[in-house]
Every structure is written in C-alpha cells, then in structure tokens.
Amino acid sequence: MEDKRWLWVIVTAIAPIAWGSGYVVTRQLLPAEAPLWGGVLRALPAGLIVLLLARRLPSGSWWWRSLVLGTLNVGGFFVLVYVAGQRLPSSLAATLMSASAACMLLFAWLLLHRRPRIAAVVGAAVGLAGVVVMLGFDAGGADVWGVAASLGAMVASSIGFVLTSRWGADVPALPMTAWQLIGGSIVLLPVAVLVEGAPPALTAPSALGFAYLTLVATALAYVAWFSGLRRLSPGVVGVVGLLNPVAGVVLGVVIAGEAFGAAGFVGILLVLTGIVLGAAPPRRAESVEVSPEPAQSRT
C-alpha cells in the first residue's frame, strides 16, 4: 500500500512541475496583453481533448458543480494568477502561492472534517520555509492589488481542490478534468469577449507556447492532480504542490539563465524534505490515501 502511495505522490507531482514550467513558457512565448483569452485558449482546447478521451458528460448536480469548480480551479484562478504575475515580482507571487499547502490543510479540516496530521503540518511548514529561502521574500513596496490577487488565487484554488476531493470521490480523473476545464472556460469566455474583444492573433512561437500549455501544463497536469486528489488527502496533495515554484526556478535557470545561488540549493532541499515529511504514510493502520467516508455522505 505504501508503494502505491508513493506512486500516486509521483503522479501528482507531474502537475506542479508542469505548472512551474508554465511560468517560463508564458513569459517567453505568449502575448502579455490578453490574459483572459490566454486562459480560454489554454483551458478550452484541453477540456475538449480530455472530454473526447473520457466520453462522459456531467449528470445531475455535476452540471452546476462543474461550473463552480471550474470557476475556482480554472477560470478565476487563471485570471488572478495573471494579475498577480503582472503586479508582483515572481519571487513574491510564488512565495504567496506556496502557502496553498497550509491553506489546503485548513480547508480540508473545515470542509471535510479531516484533522491534519502533525507530519503534514510539519512538512508544509518546512516546505514553505524552503520556498522562502529559495526565492526570498521582500514585500517592501509590494502592490496591494497584486498581493490580493495572489492570495485570492491561492484561496480559490485551495477551496476548489478540497471541494473536488469531497464531491468527486466516485468520478474518475479524466471526466473530472474535462468538466472543470470546460466549465471554467464557459465562465471565462464571455468575460474575455467583453473585456478584450477578439482573440489575439497567434504567431508561431505563441502557437507553440499555447500547445504546450494546453497539452502538458493543463490537460496532463490537471489529470495528474485530480488523480492524486482521488487517492491522497488534500493535505498531502497540497504539500506536493510546493514543487511548483521549484520547477519554475530550475527551468528559469536552465532556459532563461536566471541567477541561482547557495540559497536556492538550500531552499530546494528544504522543499523536498517537507514533501517527504508531509507525504509519509500515517503510522496507524488507518490511511487517508482513500477517503473513508461513504460516497453518499459527500453530496
């Protein structure tokens, strides 16, 4: 069982690593003036591709749940992250977003009545400390709206992911991913038309960038993330999410030639230590890997 647990930790890790790579792709290849259309062009094709693979439409309450979760985890999240990225240094934005590890523990406690294990709390704290060491945390003169957008994105996605864990115990990862990506796109599309007008013209680099974000950083990443949420507790998944800023920093060094010193190595080591601590299985026989609650209690 423990071997399978670590297997699902590794599968889940695909998502934050892919999301971290999205920072470099967005900065290097995509137009900065169309964040709303950028979210639509990233999420809608990915959702349709995954829906073709899933071959399953929502039913019953999942029509409105898909819109709610899609807004929290996709549509609203993409816009808030863009605003934060435009108004804040990337180090500060990534540091604020990394607090989602602790936020998911809190919301899992409040919404799912899952009291966080000491190991998960310690792992989240060590991992967050590693992100701060790796990226630095200089909030002097930080833009208030940028901080608010970053915290809003972190809270919205944390609530959305915990609700996904609560509502989606019996929904496979493929349809769950498709429904949320399409639901978020449906909410975001009219806003993009009203605010930004026609979609941006694509160049060869931007088309390549959107193709990568659609297939890897969205479709594959969300399937991996929701697969982890079905088999691991939200707290464990949140701690694994600390790999997001790590991937962003490493790829920034490799691809964009960004500076990287001793503090970066120490920070990455702390993040990895925090993930191992937070993802370690409980000592007692009961496991949070699969929720013990019956499916009917999650409605």
The type of residue at 176 is M
Question: Please, what is the Cα angle at 238 between 236 and 239, to 5 degrees?
Answer: 65
Of the ranges 15-19, 82-86, 221-225, which is most confident? 221-225
Half-sphere exposure of 256 (CA within 13 A, CB side): 18
pLDDT surpasses 50 at 124:
yes
Percent of the chain predicted with pLDDT > 70: 86
Q: What is the pLDDT of residue 284?
A: 57
Q: Answer whether residue 296 shows pLDDT above 50.
A: no
Predicted confidence (pLDDT) at residue 292 exceeds the cutoff of 50:
no
pLDDT surpasses 50 at 288 = no
- Average pLDDT score over residue span 279-293: 54
Q: Report the sign of the C-alpha dihedral through residues 227, 232, 235, 236, in that order.
A: negative
Other C-beta atoms lying within 10 Å of the C-beta of residue 93: 27
Distance of CA 124 to the CA centre of its chain: 16
Can you give the pLDDT at residue 218?
93
Residue 91 or 69, more confident: 69
Q: Is the pLDDT of residue 49 over 50?
A: yes
Amino acid at 276: V
Spatial CB neighbours of 84, under 8 Å, sequence gap ≥ 6: 93, 96, 97, 146, 147, 149, 150, 153
Q: Of the ranges 43-52, 120-129, 140-149, which is most confident?
A: 43-52
How far does the chain reach from its first CA to its final CA, in angstroms? 28
Range picked from 25-34, 103-112, 284-293 for highest mean pLDDT: 103-112
Whether residue 85 lies inside any domain: the answer is yes
Mean pLDDT across 226-250: 86
Whether the Cβ atoms of residue 290 and residue 6 lie closer than 8 Å to each other: no
The range of the structural domain enclosing residue 85 comes to 2-290
Give a yes or no: residue 298 inside a domain.
no
Query: Given this model, what pLDDT does residue 138 score?
Result: 56
As to burial, measured by CB atoms within 10 angstroms (0-12 exposed, 13-18 middle, 19+ buried), residue 137 is exposed
Residue 295 lies in a domain: no
Measure Cα distances from 21 to 59, 64, 100, 102 in Å. 34, 31, 18, 23
Which residue in this structure is represented by tokens 């659609």? 214
pLDDT at 123: 86
Q: Does the structure show a pLDDT above 90 at 278?
A: no
Rounded Cα distance between 13 and 34, Å, is 29
The two structure tokens encoding residue 69: 């979760």
Q: Does 100 reside within a domain?
A: yes
Q: Residue 176 pLDDT > 90, yes or no?
A: yes
142: pLDDT strictly greater than 70: no
The region of weakest confidence among 120-124, 155-159, 213-217, 249-253 is: 249-253
If pLDDT is split at 50, 70 and 90, which confidence band does 259 have?
low
Q: Does residue 219 surpass a pLDDT of 50? A: yes
In a domain, 201, yes or no: yes
Tokens (6 digits) for 83: 């605003």
| Phi, psi dihedrals of residue 250, rounded to the nearest 5° | -60, -45
Distance CA 122, CA 127 (A): 8
Q: Does 299 reside within a domain?
A: no
Rounded to whole angstroms, how far apart are CA atoms 123 and 281? 12
pLDDT attached to residue 208: 93
Residue 55 backbone class (left: φ over 0; alpha: ψ -120 to 50; beta: rest): left
Instruction: Indicate the pLDDT class of residue 137, thresholds 50, 70 and 90.
Output: low
Per-residue confidence at 287, pLDDT binned at 50, 70, 90? very low
Q: Is the pLDDT of residue 252 over 80?
A: no
- Number of domains the chain contains: 1
User: Structure tokens of 293?
Assistant: 């609650």
Residue 299: what pLDDT?
A: 38
Instruction: Render 227-246 in DSSP notation, one character per residue.
Output: HHHHHS-HHHHHHHTTHHHH
